[in-house]
Structure formats: C-alpha cells, structure tokens
Structure 1
Amino acid sequence: MTIKHKITLYSSLFFSGFYALIALFIVMSFASFRAEEFKERLNEKALTTIRLLLDVKELDNDLLKIIDQNSIHQLYDEKTLIFDENFNLIYSSLDDTKIHWTTGDLEILKTEGAYFKSEGENEIYGIKHLNNGKQFYAIVSANDNYGKSKLRYLTTIVIITFLVFLLATWLFTFTLIKKQLKPLDEFHENISQINDLHIERQLATKENSKNEIDLLSIEFNQMMSRITEVYNLQKDFTAHVSHELRTPLLKLSAQVENQLLQQKGENDLFLKSMMQDIAQLNELINSLLLLTKNNQTNPREYESIRIDEVLYAAFEKISHDFKDISIDFSIAESVAETPEILEVKASPNLLEIAFSNLIKNAYLYSDNKKVQVKIYKDNHKLKLSIINAGSKIADKAEDILFKPFKRGENTADSKGLGIGLTIVKRILTNFDFSIEYTFGSYTHQFLIIF
C-alpha cells in the first residue's frame, strides 16, 4: 500500500471513528433522556391515580376507571395497579393489559421506594406513596410508543448522516492527499526516467519554494550533477583507453598476419591462435566503446527504418561468420498485410548490432545450430522473438544475463566476453524498446517489444 493510500485510509478511519463516537453518544444520550422522561410520566400517572382514588371521596373505582381511560395524558398500552399497605389490590385500570408482578416487586417498593424496569415493549414503574399515615403502592405499565418512534427516527438520521459523512470524508481526504502529494508523484516519475542513458536529466524545481519536495528535488539535482561528473570521467577514461589500445593491437595484428603469410610450418597454429586472441581483444575494445558511448539522441529524430530490412542485414553478417547456422525466419500474416507496422524510429547500424548479437548468442548456445526468428503483433504491439533449442540455464544465470562480463556455467565451452547481451539491452533501451528472456519446453526465447 502506498503512503498516499495509507494516509487516506488512516485519516478517514480516524474522522469516521470520531464521528461514529459522537453519533453513538447522541443516540445513547437521547435514549437515556427518553427513558427518564417516560419514567417521570409514569411517576406522575401513578401519583395522580393514587390521589384521585384516596383523596376525592366522590370518586368510586368505576368512575376513576372511566376518567383514567379518557385522560388527555393517556399512555399507550397502559395498565395501572394500586395496592394497600398489606399488598392487597385495591384498584386496577379498565384496560386488558396485564402486568406481571409478584409480592417480591412490592417488597422492593417497600424497601427502596421505587423501581423502573422493562418488560417486552412495555416499561414498568413502581412507586411507594404515604397517604394519611398509610402506605400505598402503585405499579404502572405502558409503552412509550411515541418516544421510541422519535428515537428510531433519530437513529436512522444519525446512521444516514454517518454513511454520507464517511463517503464524503473518504472522497475529500483522498482528493486532498492526492493533490498535496502530486509533486511527489511527479518526483517519482522523473526519477524513474533517469538511467545510464539519461543520467544528466534534472528534476523541475520552483525557485524560492519551501515545499519539502522541491527542496528534495534541488538536493537530488545537486547529487545527480556530482554523480554525472564522476560517471562522465569514468566513461571518458574508458573511451580514451580503448582508443589508445586500438593502435598497438592493429600493429600486432598486422605483424602476426605478415608472419602467417611469410612462414609455413609449426608456428601456424600458434600464430592463428594469436590472431583469434587479437580479434577477441578488438571485439572487447569495440564493445567497450559502444557501451561508453553517450548516445542521448531522441529516437524520434531518426528516420523510420524497417525491422525486416535490418534483420536481413544481420542474417547476412551472421551467415558469413557462421557457415553452419540455420535461420528460420517468418513474418506473421497480420504484419505482412500491413508492412507499415514494421517501421520504427531507430539507428539501423545500432539495431543491426543488437539483432546480430542476439542471433549469434542463440546460435552459440543452441543444441542443433538452428535459430528461429519471428515477427508478429500481439496486444497492439510489434514483437520480435528469437528462439533456440537448449537445456535450461541456472536460475542465477538468468539474473545476470544482461549484466556486463557475467557468464553462466553453460558458457564454459564457448568463447565470449559476457558483454553482448549488455550491449543489446543498452541499444534497445536507448530506443525505448524492451527485451525479455523466457525458457520453456527446452527452448530459449528472447522477446523484443517495439
């Protein structure tokens, strides 16, 4: 998970959790308020009923039931019971609602003076009342349908607002974080474009900016300038040395060649071996020069060239050097029907070197000296595959295929410098092409994606 997503997640969780706690507090506070308010109403109902029953002599039980039933403060699903000091029931309201009470409930009232509890949808309130020196007990049961309806409405509103707040918080936080960290994304994108071919690239900065990312970009540019200077010094040194080595090698090659022409005999094998070593040294020097060449030319500045034409030139060169090579070349029908697909912007000379190195590599490490080359189109991209048959190389060797002067265990019986694939990778990268290596079914494949 990226830092941007982590900040968004943690910020949203914090504010959402904070709001959820506030919402829960509001709902619980209102629920407690509703219960206390309803308890007061039940208390008022109980006291009013006791006073009417005991203090107004003109009222009998039947009349009190009628008054109680038509009271403007009538409670929903209400039931009222009045007991004397001996726990005898002296009044019961007219409705059919039942109150589940026991002598234990009256004992609690006698001891504690009041109690409040819930029973199903109803809530029950009991109270002890002293009248004319005598104790009376009242138990009132009712359903606070109106209060509960308000509580449900409030809970629904709170849940809806919480969900809206949650969505708004996530969107706002993500948008804000994305906007604030946009310079960091640009910083990452610019850094990802820096490689050995574009090492002198500088990051865009704003003057007199106190933004941490701009300050970091300035420091990064200064660091890259120092690295570029050292890199160029090293590259220039390698190039100069390579140029200087060419002259003595050419002289040595000419002298050995003259000796071969003038002498015939035992020294022929020795001189031919020297010529091979000199040729290998020349190849190494040429490779070093190619690797150290700072080719920063934009591929768009090249003229369009055709892949198949460059391949034919590479085939001709390889066939001249290796007489027993067998090349199976094919172009997919979808590509052949639209030849303009074969056109790319690159240097034909450099691209020919890359193709030649790949075909040469496939030939040298093939079990049957056969190389299969195919051009086709896949996922709207032009691809070139170079395949040869051979046993699998070690997994560690796959990791160093494109590293200079690194050779696998399967190269012990063949001559090479371990730099050919490095050159290939460098050339293709310079033209914004990519290369992949895969092994399967006893075949090695290098895949170039244009």
Structure 2
Amino acid sequence: MTLKTRISLLVSILFAALYGIACVFIFVLASNFREEEFIDRLEVKALKTLKFLSDHKNPNYELLRTIDNNSVYKLNDEKTLIFDSNFKLMYSNVEGKKIDWNGADLKYLKVHKSFLKKQGQNEFYGIFIDTHAKDYYVLISANDRYGNRKMVYLQYILIISYFAFTLICWLLTSWMVHKAILPLGLFHQKIKKINENNLDTRIESKSSKNEIDLIANEFNFMMDRIELSYQGQKDFTAHASHELRTPLSRITSQIENKISDQSTTDDAKKFLLVILSDMNHLTELIHSLLILSKTEISRTAEKELIRIDEVLFSSIEKINKSYPDFKISFEIEDSEHLENALEIRGNRNLLDIALTNVLKNACVYSTNKQAEVIISCDEKSLIISVSNIGKTLNKKEQLHLFQPFMRGENANGTTGFGLGLIIVQRILNIHQAQIHYSIPKEHTNLFQINFRF
C-alpha cells in the first residue's frame, strides 16, 4: 500500500468514525427531543381534560368527548383515561370501546408520579396529579405519527449524508495528499534513475524549511560522498592498471625471448609457455579493467558523428584476424529510416571495443563457429542483432549476465574473466543505447543492441 493510499485511508476512517459518532449523537438528541415534546403534548392534553372535569361539579362527559375528538390538537389514535384516588374510572374519551389498562400502572403512578412506555405503535403516558382536593390518575396513549415520520426522515438523511460525505472525504483527501506528496514522487523518480553511471545527479531543493527539501539536501550530501569514494576507486583502478602494464609487458617480452632462445630446453619452454599464457591472461584482465575506467572518463568527452556500420565492419575484420576459422554472416535490412539511423554521435574507439566484445563473445561460445549479424531499424531505434548457435543461459544466469566477473555454465572450458559484457554495457550507456539477451529458439543466443534516435 502506497503512502498516499495509507494517508487517505487513515483520514477517511477517522472522518467516518467522527462523523458516524456525530450522526448517532444528533439522532439520539433528536429522538429525545421528539419524546419530550410528545410527552409535553400528552401532559397538556391530560391537564386540560382534568381541568374541565374539576371545574364542573356535574361535567357533561359527552360534550367533553365531542370536544376531545374534534379538537385541532387531537393526537393520532388518542385514548385518554382518568381515574380517581380509588382507581375508579371517571372518564374515557372512547366511550363504548373496550380499553385494556393495568391496575399495576396506577399503583406505579402513585409512587413514581409519572411513566412512559411503548405499546405497539403507540406511546403510553401516565401521570399522577394532586389537586389538594382530590387525587387523579391519568393514562393517555397516542401515536406520534408526524414525529416518527420526522425521525425516519432524519435517519435517512444521516445515513445518506454519512456515506456521501465519507466518499467525498476520501476523494478530497486523495487529491490533497497527491498534491502534498507530489514533490516526494518527483524525488522518487529522480532517485530511481541514479546508478553507477550517473552519480553526479543531484536533487534540486528550494527551501531548507520544507521536510522534503531537507531530505533532498541530505541526499545530495550523501551522493557527494558516494561519488567521491566511487571516483577514488575508479582512479585507483585506472592508475594501478596503467602502472601494472609496463612491468607485465617487460616480463612477457623476457619470457618470449627466453622461449625463442636456442639454448632453452624443451621442458623449460613448456614451463615458460604456461607462464606466458598466464601472463597474457593477466595482461588481458588489466586491459579490461583499464577500459572500464576509461569508459567513466570518456562519459563527458566530446562525441563525433560516425557511421555504425563502418565501426561494425572494423570489428568484424578484427575478429576474422583473431579467429580465422570463425565465419560471420552480415545482413542489412532495407528501411526508409536506415540511412539516417546509421549515423550516430559517439566515441568510435569505445564503440569498436563494445562491438568487438559482442562478436568475440559470439565466437567463443558458438558450437559451429558461425554467427549472424543483422542491422535493422524502426521508427525509433537502430538495432544490431548478433546471434549464434550454442549453449544458452538459464534464467538465473540471465539476471546476472551484465555483472562484473559473471560467467555462466557455458563458459566451462573457455578462457575469460566475465568483464566483456559489463564493458559493452557501460560503453552503450554512454551512448544512450541498450543491450538485451534473449533465446529466440532452442540453442540460439541472441544479443540485440538498440541505439535510440
């Protein structure tokens, strides 16, 4: 889960929880207010009825019922019962109808003075009234239809608003978080592009107060130290390789002179040939390390306009001299973009080294001493394909193919140090090109070099 999603989710959950509590609080308050308002109306109704009865010595119950049933203040499904101190029914507004009531309610009223309870859809309210002259017990029930409708309406509004505002909160939070951490996303994109080939990359910072800019400043300081350390290693490798070449050349020359000396015995010559072979391998290793260091130095060097097919012809010629029994077939696929695509800006010597290493790799690891080179292009890039028949690499070996000193199982029985392809990759990186390895069919190795226009 990304940081943006996590922050948006946490804020939305917090808002949903707080707004949910607020909705419940509002609903409970509104429900209590409706109940209290309804009790007040029931109580006022009971007091008015009781006042009418107490003000008349011989009250007209029929007239009172008529007034109750036709009053604009009449409640829905209203039933009113009034009892005297002996729990005897004095008045009912629904004469002729059977009304269930419980004597326990009257006894409860005598002690607690009032109560409210639910009976189906109706609310049942009882109140004890002491007029000093007489005691009265009033039981009145009614259905607060309008109040309940308002509560249902409020409930729908709160539920709909809860989900609607939670969704809006999620969208707004996601947008605001995206805007807030946009510099962090740009920071991440720049960091991803940093590798050993562009350690001079730095992150721009505008203010020392912004947390992201503070991180950028510390990152730039760290990159300064890394680049300094990396440059020290490269300089040491270059200097050491350069200094070692002279004594190795002297030792090689002395061994060759000793081998060509007529006084040297056959056993001594065999021994010296083994030493010479090892010296040649060591010289090749030092030469490869020197090339690696030169690729870094040549990164900022000026590039000239060259034709890549001419460089490729030169590399093929070198391979033919070193491996005369090795055959290379060459083909250029016709395309309307080809003429312009063959001209690139680069370092001829470095590209010659890269292409030679790829062709040498195809020669050394082929089983039939043949390789096929094809130059093609599309609208975006020039492609050089080099394929041969031989033992292919497994998936694990392909993952580490362009790492220093990496050699696959197909390298058994062949000389080398595993530096050829890393040299190729670094040279191509200088020219904004890429190299890819694939297995198009069984026992076929394919390297494709892509030069972007």
Give the TM-score of the pair, scaled to structure 2: 0.77
Measured in 2, the distance between the counterparts of 1:95 and 1:357 equals: 115
Measured in 2, the distance between the counterparts of 1:441 and 1:240 equals: 44
Partner of residue 227, structure 1: 226
Question: For the Cα contact (< 8 Å) 1:393–1:410, is it kept in 2?
Answer: no
Q: CA, structure 1 residues 151+244, in 2 after alignment: closer, same or farther (shift >3 Å)? A: same
One-letter amino acid of the counterpart of residue 203, structure 2: L
Partner of residue 426, structure 2: 426
Partner of residue 125, structure 1: 125
Partner of residue 291, structure 1: 292
Cα RMSD after superposing both structures: 4.3
Q: CA, structure 1 residues 14+70, in 2 after alignment: closer, same or farther (shift >3 Å)? A: same
Q: CA, structure 1 residues 203+391, in 2 after alignment: closer, same or farther (shift >3 Å)? A: closer
The answer to whether 1:143 aligns with 2:144 is yes
Q: Deviations over 1:34-75 (max 9, x none)?
A: 122112212222333344355445653332232112212122
Question: For the Cα contact (< 8 Å) 1:82–1:92, is it kept in 2?
Answer: no
Q: CA, structure 1 residues 239+122, in 2 after alignment: closer, same or farther (shift >3 Å)? A: same
What SS does the aligned partner of 1:197 have?
Answer: coil
Partner of residue 243, structure 2: 244
Measured in 1, the distance between the counterparts of 2:39 and 2:73 equals: 14
Measured in 1, the distance between the counterparts of 2:108 and 2:330 equals: 102
Partner of residue 416, structure 2: 416
Measured in 2, the distance between the counterparts of 1:100 and 1:345 equals: 105
Q: Deviations over 1:403-449 (max 9, x none)?
A: 22243455342211121222233223333444455679755555655
Q: Where do 5+ consecutive residues of structure 2 fail to align?
A: none
Measured in 2, the distance between the counterparts of 1:99 and 1:285 equals: 113
Measured in 2, the distance between the counterparts of 1:179 and 1:100 equals: 68
Q: CA, structure 1 residues 405+74, in 2 after alignment: closer, same or farther (shift >3 Å)? A: same
Q: Deviations over 1:272-318 (max 9, x none)?
A: 5555434433322221112112246469x746666666555544544
What SS does the aligned partner of 1:414 have?
Answer: coil
Question: For the Cα contact (< 8 Å) 1:78–1:95, is it kept in 2?
Answer: no
Give the drift of 1:259: 5.8
Question: For the Cα contact (< 8 Å) 2:393–2:408, is it kept in 1?
Answer: no
- The sequence identity of aligned pairs, in percent, is 41
Partner of residue 217, structure 1: 216
Matches within 5 A, 1:179-194: 179-194=179-194
Partner of residue 49, structure 1: 49
Partner of residue 14, structure 1: 14
Question: For the Cα contact (< 8 Å) 2:306–2:345, is it kept in 1?
Answer: yes
Matches within 5 A, 1:47-446: 47-53=47-53, 55-57=55-57, 59-83=59-83, 85-86=86-87, 90-93=91-94, 102=102, 105-106=105-106, 108-109=108-109, 111-130=111-130, 132-145=133-146, 147-159=147-159, 161-163=161-163, 165-206=165-206, 209-257=208-256, 266=266, 273-293=274-294, 294-295=296-297, 297=299, 302=303, 313-323=314-324, 325=326, 336=335, 338-339=337-338, 346-366=346-366, 389-390=390-391, 392-393=393-394, 395=396, 397-398=397-398, 400-408=400-408, 410-436=410-436, 446=447
Measured in 2, the distance between the counterparts of 1:66 and 1:430 equals: 105
Matched length: 443
Question: For the Cα contact (< 8 Å) 1:389–1:442, is it kept in 2?
Answer: no
Measured in 2, the distance between the counterparts of 1:435 and 1:313 equals: 20
Question: For the Cα contact (< 8 Å) 2:80–2:93, is it kept in 1?
Answer: yes
What SS does the aligned partner of 1:196 have?
Answer: coil
What SS does the aligned partner of 2:115 have?
Answer: strand
Give the drift of 1:122: 3.3
Q: CA, structure 1 residues 392+238, in 2 after alignment: closer, same or farther (shift >3 Å)? A: closer
Question: For the Cα contact (< 8 Å) 1:77–1:142, is it kept in 2?
Answer: yes
Q: Where do 5+ consecutive residues of structure 1 fail to align?
A: none
One-letter amino acid of the counterpart of residue 407, structure 2: R
Q: CA, structure 1 residues 63+136, in 2 after alignment: closer, same or farther (shift >3 Å)? A: same
What SS does the aligned partner of 1:124 have?
Answer: strand
Measured in 1, the distance between the counterparts of 2:119 and 2:322 equals: 100
Q: CA, structure 1 residues 232+92, in 2 after alignment: closer, same or farther (shift >3 Å)? A: same
Q: Deviations over 1:146-188 (max 9, x none)?
A: x334334444554555456445544554444444444434443
Measured in 1, the distance between the counterparts of 2:288 and 2:99 equals: 102
Question: For the Cα contact (< 8 Å) 1:394–1:408, is it kept in 2?
Answer: no
Q: CA, structure 1 residues 185+136, in 2 after alignment: closer, same or farther (shift >3 Å)? A: closer
Task: After superposing the two structures, state which structure 1 stretch, 247-256 or 235-244, moved more.
Answer: 247-256
